[in-house]
């Protein structure tokens, strides 16, 4: 699994707004939007005079709509289609996923805790190789059988149909965009010990990336390690409602 | 594939509104909402005096927000997880899908045009049976291997991981709710000859069900049969924007 | 303020699903959708064997997506445009509002606590009458001034412009559709003592109407009366996230 | 009316992706997302080898979801609350508006075509001044009347109530964030000669700002001037669906 930040909000202060900020990018835009609601450009209160303090306050009082202005886009590679089937249920993100029509190359994600047991992992990999071979064999059959009598369109359809033989572990890539409020919600829901391993791992990695570019908006989150070695991400200030 | 309508809007006219309608349910609510925008309870114009005429006009002039008030819920059974992966990308629906934690029973959807060729179908079925057996074998290994040393939680996680061996053709059920505007959009996008066969077939079946309960809201759609026998659904009045 | 339920989900059980329910309509559909996730049609657990118990459990564990399938539409009359400006910010509802092009008849909403003080109320009403007269006078001026030289379109535009003279207290009507999850969120956010009086009152009235048609989905909400006489609606189980 | 771009997507290419782009920011991210769907990093086709050509193709074939990744935030000042009441109906944007609790300073927007007629404009301004005076007078009454006997909370509520006396022409400021697809839709819907003057003017100004930062995503839009001097914005490629 590889996660790169490929898009991030750049903040531009209008030249006539008397505001000085100690942050930039997504964090700055969120603070700007919050202050615009009261034109509170001056900062008499030390507790909210820093960007970190201001966003902490925003999160504590639940004024989360200001976090919606700032957006981060990530490019996630090497996750399973089983995971993306869960991921794309979130309706506040935008997605561009590697097309099903892209020829699959036989890459599969071995999930935890199977991966950490060599014997189980070998058995898993054998199964995916078998499935991939069955897919390729069916493709060959389709080609030889339909090529003479059938249209290009029908062969194309048959190939698409054949792909449903591929396991959910099939590797895929996806571009996902979301605002800071949506990312907070995603991490809180999927970073728990109740979540499936792959999506939980994704939530933890995402939190790490998001902290690098907008740490003040995730200051209430913690990453901790369970006795069995799994990492989870959580915040006392996010609830599902 | 089986599609049942399990939820549908019931319309209740307030006792002080002087409106007479020749329709009920979703169609009546859509007309009521449209007329409420102008309190146009009387019907001087014969062209829009019927519900069919009124909704036709609404669709022609693009006043589609009135269609959002009326909702239809369907229970779709026997479709593949490959299809639901596409389906749930639509953000204007609500979904309740058969859980991944439900023990899979080895039911798979043989897609067109593989299904209509007995040899290809047999090959496809052999491959899904092989994949299912590999999944069950891995489960057995996990049980025997981890049962002595590991926690219930870890075994549960291993079982979830093993399920990613199952093909996208694996059968699933899903409850989907959407308003009439969203259903129109879905059918227009997926009812075309460019769509994958299974989702195109679903679009056609959905149109048939929706016409039974709210025909006036789909009066502009047509189902036609292509030279190769496939059915498509389309409307000249729906565009993607 | 008058609130009528004009649309509500009707539930239809598929003939081959072995489920018996002690509720109907929105509550039944929500339970059906929840049970479809595990095909748990039988009810071994007495705590969730009733619809009331089942939905209580759903709400407690936060499995709120099942509440999204059931929808309720209300027709709200006699509220101010100030209120609808707040109301329509909620993105999970669909709206059909009385058009701005509908000729205003001089009806205004006197808000609390002004309304409960006869002198303040009289002053308020005098001000709205004055504003309405100014609007009508401007309209007359526009008519006499532009009628000779200008197009119908320009006069129409001038009339629309004149309407911006009307106070936010101007009365309006609106049709609003939302699913049970969205209604719960709306009531929790606006039913508090921090909310403006008119929208708080609306939240309380909505809760009363919703309880009449889907009480089990709002069993955790309470209406209480503050020392100053205001009513508020709240639930310990709804948070904003 | 003043519109400043305060937030805009910055694009960051992952170091291992062999892609060269002739654009940056929102336009680059949209192209990147589109190419990620097929890993089509090379550009054999000259027609889509430039960012302008690529986005033109995306728009022509309706692959609009790639435009959702790129976001632009604007700070709009000096528009009426009548306009924001229309604006915030759009559910694909995020908003932070100047609070109602911010003390109004008596600034009002004189709408076209009233503004361009000195006599009508004077009459309009007299009416807003009268309304503002009535609001301030009521505030004074509330203060003197309730101060002795009532709580701070009640006085605060009375002040909020008094604000509903203010005309829809009352000036407000708002921060609005949206992705390129949503902005295209907004401009197409509100840039027409059928739209109210103020929101039409906003659509035209927004198009000008967006072209400065993401011109290739709006290459199909045109600004033209009607015989009566009004400017409109339109594209043959945007429809409402």
Q: Is any Cβ of chain C less than 8 angstroms from the Cβ of A214?
A: no
Q: Is any Cβ of chain D less than 8 angstroms from the Cβ of A164?
A: no
User: How confident is residue B144, by pLDDT bands cut at 50, 70 and 90?
Assistant: confident
How many whole angstroms separate alpha carbon C51 and alpha carbon C68? 16
User: How confident is residue C241, by pLDDT bands cut at 50, 70 and 90?
Assistant: very low
Rounded to a whole number, what is the distance in Å from the CA of A102 to chain D's nearest CA? 6
CB-nearest to D177 from A6, A12, A69 is A69
What's the rounded mean pLDDT across residues C32-46? 95
Q: B49 near B226, Cβ under 8 Å?
A: no
pLDDT of residue D241: 42
How many whole angstroms separate alpha carbon D128 and alpha carbon D108? 7
User: How confident is residue B61, by pLDDT bands cut at 50, 70 and 90?
Assistant: very high
Query: Phi then psi for D90, rounded to 5 degrees?
Result: -70, 120
DSSP conformation class of B12: -
- The answer on whether B91 is annotated among ligand-binding residues is yes
| Average per-residue pLDDT for chain D | 93
Q: What is the pLDDT of residues D172-209, one digit of tens each?
A: 999 999 999 999 999 999 999 989 999 999 999 999 99
- The answer on whether B234 is annotated among ligand-binding residues is no
CB-nearest to A131 from B95, B131, B151 is B131
| Average per-residue pLDDT for chain B | 93
- Helix residue ranges per DSSP H, chain D: 25-36, 51-61, 81-87, 118-146, 152-162, 180-190, 197-214
How many whole angstroms separate alpha carbon A35 and alpha carbon D23? 32
- Whether residue C173 and residue B69 make contact (CB cut-off 8 A), yes or no, is no
241 residues of chain A, pLDDT tens digit each: 999 999 999 999 999 999 999 999 999 999 999 999 999 999 999 999 999 999 999 999 999 999 999 999 999 999 999 999 999 999 999 999 999 878 888 899 999 889 989 999 999 999 999 999 999 999 988 888 776 666 777 778 888 889 999 999 999 999 999 999 999 999 999 999 989 999 999 999 999 999 999 999 999 999 999 988 899 999 988 865 4
Alpha-carbon radius of gyration of chain C: 23
CB-nearest to B69 from C4, C69, C96 is C96
CB-nearest to A85 from B85, B111, B228 is B85
Q: What is the pLDDT of residues B2-35, one digit of tens each?
A: 999 999 999 999 999 999 999 999 999 999 999 9
- Dihedral Cα B37, B39, B44, B50, nearest 10 deg: 60
- Whether residue C94 and residue B179 make contact (CB cut-off 8 A), yes or no, is yes
Least confident of A183-197, B5-19, B92-106, C10-24: B92-106
Residue A192 vs residues A89, A221, A229: alpha-carbon distances, Å:
17, 12, 13
User: How confident is residue D150, by pLDDT bands cut at 50, 70 and 90?
Assistant: low
Q: Is any Cβ of chain B less than 8 angstroms from the Cβ of A91?
A: yes
What's the rounded mean pLDDT across residues B60-67? 94
CB-nearest to B113 from A138, A154, A196 is A154
Alpha-carbon radius of gyration of chain B: 23
Query: DSSP letters along D88-149, please?
Result: TT-TTSEEEE--TTSPP-S-B---TTTTTSHHHHHHHHHHHHHHHHHHHHHHHHHHHHHTTT
pLDDT of residue B230: 92
Q: Is any Cβ of chain B less than 8 angstroms from the Cβ of D239?
A: yes
- Whether residue A177 and residue D173 make contact (CB cut-off 8 A), yes or no, is no
Region label for C39, one of left (φ > 0), alpha (ψ between -120 and 50) or beta (otherwise):
left
pLDDT of residue B167: 97
Percentage, residues of chain B above pLDDT 70: 97
- Whether residue A94 and residue D177 make contact (CB cut-off 8 A), yes or no, is no
- Whether residue D85 and residue C80 make contact (CB cut-off 8 A), yes or no, is no
Tokens coding A99:
């097309």
User: How confident is residue D158, by pLDDT bands cut at 50, 70 and 90?
Assistant: confident
Rounded to a whole number, what is the distance in Å from the CA of A83 to chain B's nearest CA? 9
Residue where the block lists tokens 């909400």: C221
- In chain B, the N- to C-terminal Cα span, in Å, equals 30
Q: In b/e form, how buried is each residue of C60-70, taking b as 16+ CB within 10 angstroms?
A: eeebbbbbbbb
Binding positions of A for dUMP: 86-89, 97-101
Q: What is the pLDDT of residues B212-234, one digit of tens each?
A: 999 999 999 999 999 888 999 99
The interface pTM score, or ipTM, of the predicted complex is 0.95
Q: Is any Cβ of chain A less than 8 angstroms from the Cβ of C62?
A: yes
CB-nearest to A196 from B82, B134, B160 is B160
Length of chain C: 241
Residues of C in contact with B103 (CB under 8 A): none
- Whether residue B240 and residue D185 make contact (CB cut-off 8 A), yes or no, is no
What's the rounded mean pLDDT across residues B143-151? 72
pLDDT of residue D156: 80
Helix axes B152-162, A197-214, angle to 10 degrees: 90
pLDDT of residue C186: 96
Please identify among residues 8-47 of chain B the ones whose CB lies closer than 8 Å to any CB of chain A: none
- The answer on whether B98 is annotated among ligand-binding residues is yes
For residue C127, pLDDT over 70 is answered with yes
Q: Is any Cβ of chain C less than 8 angstroms from the Cβ of B1?
A: no
User: Is C180 exposed, middle or buried (CB count within 10 Å of its CB: 0-12, 13-18, 19+)?
Assistant: buried
Task: Suggest the residue from C37, C78, C79, C93 to mutate for an interface test with chain B (most B CBs closer than 10 A).
Answer: C37
Query: Phi then psi for A95, rounded to 5 degrees?
Result: -130, 145
User: Is A118 exposed, middle or buried (CB count within 10 Å of its CB: 0-12, 13-18, 19+)?
Assistant: exposed
Query: Phi then psi for A8, rounded to 5 degrees?
Result: -155, 140
- Whether residue C165 and residue D127 make contact (CB cut-off 8 A), yes or no, is yes
Helix axes C25-36, C197-214, angle to 10 degrees: 70
Q: D234 near D191, Cβ under 8 Å?
A: yes
Determine the Cα angle at A177 with ends A239 and B64, to 5°.
Answer: 90
Tokens coding A166:
């591929």
Q: Is any Cβ of chain D less than 8 angstroms from the Cβ of A98?
A: yes
- Whether residue B142 and residue A114 make contact (CB cut-off 8 A), yes or no, is yes
- Whether residue D164 and residue C169 make contact (CB cut-off 8 A), yes or no, is yes
Rounded to a whole number, what is the distance in Å from the CA of D199 to chain C's nearest CA? 12
Q: A207 near A221, Cβ under 8 Å?
A: yes
Q: Is any Cβ of chain C less than 8 angstroms from the Cβ of D155?
A: no
User: How confident is residue D240, by pLDDT bands cut at 50, 70 and 90?
Assistant: low
Q: Is any Cβ of chain A less than 8 angstroms from the Cβ of B161?
A: yes
What's the rounded mean pLDDT across residues D148-164? 79
- Whether residue C163 and residue D82 make contact (CB cut-off 8 A), yes or no, is yes
Percentage, residues of chain B above pLDDT 90: 82
Q: D142 near D159, Cβ under 8 Å?
A: yes
What's the rounded mean pLDDT across residues B163-186? 97
Q: Is any Cβ of chain B less than 8 angstroms from the Cβ of D236?
A: no
- Whether residue A238 and residue C238 make contact (CB cut-off 8 A), yes or no, is no
Assigned fold of D2-74+173-235: Gyrase A; domain 2 (3.30.1360)
pTM: 0.96
pLDDT of residue A149: 62
For residue D44, pLDDT over 60 is answered with yes
User: How confident is residue B240, by pLDDT bands cut at 50, 70 and 90?
Assistant: low
User: How confident is residue B95, by pLDDT bands cut at 50, 70 and 90?
Assistant: very high
Rounded to a whole number, what is the distance in Å from the CA of B236 to chain A's nearest CA? 24
- The answer on whether B89 is annotated among ligand-binding residues is yes
Quick one: which of B164, B180, B219 has its CA closest to B73?
B180
- The answer on whether C65 is annotated among ligand-binding residues is yes
Helix/strand/coil for B235: strand
Number of CB pairs, chain A paired with chain C, less than 8 A apart = 20
- Whether residue C96 and residue B66 make contact (CB cut-off 8 A), yes or no, is yes
How many whole angstroms separate alpha carbon C142 and alpha carbon D116? 12
What's the rounded mean pLDDT across residues D222-234? 94
Quick one: which of A12, A6, A13 has its CA closest to A71?
A6
What's the rounded mean pLDDT across residues D112-139? 94
What's the rounded mean pLDDT across residues C91-111? 91
Q: D212 near D235, Cβ under 8 Å?
A: no
Least confident of B178-187, B193-202, C120-129, C152-161: C152-161
């Amino acid at each position: 699994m590889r996660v790169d930040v490929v898009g991030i909000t750049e903040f531009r202060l209008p030249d006539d707004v008397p505001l000085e900020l100690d942050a930039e990018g997504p964090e700055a835009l969120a603070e700007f939007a919050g202050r615009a609601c009261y034109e509170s450009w001056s900062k008499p209160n030390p507790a909210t005079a820093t960007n970190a303090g201001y966003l902490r306050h925003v999160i504590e009082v639940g004024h989360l709509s200001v976090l919606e202005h700032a957006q981060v886009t990530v490019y996630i590679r090497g996750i399973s289609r089983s995971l993306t089937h869960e991921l794309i249920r979130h309706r506040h993100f935008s997605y561009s996923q590697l097309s099903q029509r892209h020829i699959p190359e036989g890459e599969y994600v071995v999930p935890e805790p199977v991966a950490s047991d060599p014997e189980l992992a070998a058995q898993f990999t054998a199964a995916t190789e078998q499935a991939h071979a069955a897919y390729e064999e069916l493709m060959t059959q389709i080609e030889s059988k339909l090529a003479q009598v059938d249209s290009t369109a029908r062969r194309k359809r048959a190939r698409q149909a054949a792909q449903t033989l591929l396991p959910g572990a099939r590797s895929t890539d996806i571009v996902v965009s979301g605002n800071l409020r949506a990312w907070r919600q995603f991490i809180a829901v999927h970073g728990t010990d109740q979540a499936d391993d792959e999506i939980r791992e994704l939530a933890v990695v995402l939190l790490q990336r998001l902290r690098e570019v907008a740490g003040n908006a995730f200051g209430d989150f913690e990453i901790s390690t369970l006795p069995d070695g799994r990492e989870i991400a959580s915040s006392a200030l996010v609830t599902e409602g």
